[in-house]
Amino acid sequence: GDGMRLARLALVATIAVLQACAANERRASDSDTGIYAPLLPSDPRGNLAVSALSPPYNTADYETGRRSFLVCASCHSLRAGAAEHVGPNLHGLIGRRVGSGAGFAEGFGYSLALQRAEFVWDAESLDRFLEHPEEVLPGNRMALAPVRDETLRRNLVAYVVVTTSHR
């Protein structure tokens, strides 16, 4: 029906944006203030850190995840102390209760869906959320087309887990 057609269109549009952004990547410079950078600089330790994650994330490609995050960077930052944008700063995300401001995102106006959620972010919950955002957190305000491609999602999740944990 129309719902499936719209879902397919959203997925195709998301993949096209991810591919275009990866092809036209703008790297953050060393002189970047850290307040907002579309991408953190490449980190040669990235794949080593990814290899220490639990399966299946330990087989992800850090650099591909880094480039894929460009779409997310229009709303989210990853650097400690960086300003909030449309979405909260994700630094310190893993191990935090969903919608909490403890240690990050102080004062961010979370939706009621996130404020009422009863779980802690980890790689698996982030993966499920990216695949099925409305099922995992019904009523959330995040403008997110489901990321159905398992490899793309695994790379993105591994990048976010590694980057928000060790910087």
Contact (Cβ atoms closer than 8 angstroms) between residue 2 and residue 138: no
pLDDT at 81: 81
The more confidently predicted of residues 10 and 108 is 108
According to the model, what pLDDT value does residue 36 have? Answer: 38
pLDDT tens sequence across 77-132: 888 887 777 888 888 899 988 887 644 445 677 888 888 888 999 999 999 999 99
Percent of the chain with pLDDT over 70: 71
**Confidence (pLDDT) at 87:** 84
